[in-house]
Amino acid sequence: MHRRWLLSALALLMSIVLAACTTATTQQSQIKVTNPTETINANSQQLPTGSVKRVVALSSLSADIISRLNSTKIVGITGSKLFKNDSKFKDIPRVSEGQSPPNLEKIVALKPDLVIGAEGFSNIPIQKLQQLGINTFLTKVNNWESLEELTKTLAKSIDADPLPLLNRYKTFLPEKPTQGFSTLALVSRQPILAPNKNSWAGDLLAKFQAKNIAADLQGKSPIGGYVTLSAEKVLEANPEVIILVNPPQGNSEAALLDSLKKEAFWQQLQATKNNRVYVFDYFGLVNPGSIDAIEKACQQLKQVLFAA
């Protein structure tokens, strides 16, 4: 079981590394275009307004946003498990499956006038497509504001109204947030890795007024937006709530909890003593993934952080 946990943790770490390896962490809401030396504010106009007709999305989140804004504009998507049982994506060609890189020939054959990728995941194929003369766009969503700005930017590019989707986002957040519990979000056990305020997960916790014990910490972790913690630091903070993240490939909740119970410090934490340890999916909390995944994570946070 220890080996299974370690493999799962490594897989999760690699997923986060891929999302963060190409740029330094930033506290600002940004979208990065394909020129690696140029970072722009999301409010800047970089895409042709209203002229995009055929979009291939290499990130599940961008595919979902485009589809909800105007489903006729999306002509190719990444093969994400998030869309496996989603009828609206049933007949849309997949240009990649699993961990395999996107098939450039399939993308070109779809004759897109825009290909959207996620920074860190899609840089290499995006650069190759740009060399072929295809318009490309790299996105980075590491806080709530960047999600809203991305939605507005994509809506302008395909001549769609972003307001219905933006209004839906608002329903995910608490109407009257109250001061929450001290919280540790644990995305890996070895090392103990937690999101600070510069990550999607950290920003989401802040939206729910959680007292994220790692929010203001900085460290030497190569993963932007995440810090490593010692067992002593966790004991010192002694969080009231602990959130465990299920790796992308999945693992049973029982396996996650059983492996942690073997740690000497685990039973000393008030969250453990009060049975306030919860398991969240990777998509929604660590990687936004899709609109439905974000909504599910927010619903769970309401239940966990606003509980009596």
Quick: pLDDT tens for 48-77.
666 899 999 999 999 999 999 999 999 999
Those residues with Cβ within 8 angstroms of residue 163's Cβ, 6 or more apart along the chain or in another chain: none
pLDDT, mean of residues 8-33: 38
pLDDT of residue 252: 58
What does the angle CA 136 – CA 138 – CA 139 come to, to the nearest 5 degrees? 140
pLDDT of residue 45: 33
pLDDT in tens, 281-297: 999 999 999 999 999 99
pLDDT in tens, 78-136: 988 888 888 889 899 999 887 788 999 999 999 999 999 988 888 899 999 999 999 99
**Domains defined for the chain, CATH in brackets:** 30-172 (3.40.50.1980), 176-305 (3.40.50.1980)
Residue 24 reports pLDDT greater than 80: no
Q: Which amino acid is at 5?
A: W
Q: What Å distances lie between residue 214 and 45, 71, 219, CA to CA?
A: 35, 39, 10
Tokens of 19: 């999302």
pLDDT in tens, 139-164: 999 999 999 999 999 999 999 999 99
pLDDT in tens, 221-241: 667 799 998 889 999 999 999
Least Cα distance to 300 among 257, 245, 254 occurs for 245
What is the DSSP code string of 57-118? ESSHHHHHHHHHH-GGGEEEEEE-GGGTT-GGGTTSPEEEETTSPP-HHHHHHT--SEEEEE
Q: How confident is the model at residue 39 (pLDDT cuts 50, 70, 90)?
A: very low
Candidate from 43-47, 132-136, 154-158, 183-187 with smallest mean pLDDT: 43-47
Least Cα distance to 216 among 197, 235, 237, 238 occurs for 197
In percent, the amount of the chain with pLDDT more than 90 equals 54
CA dihedral 67→69→73→76, nearest 10 degrees, is -20
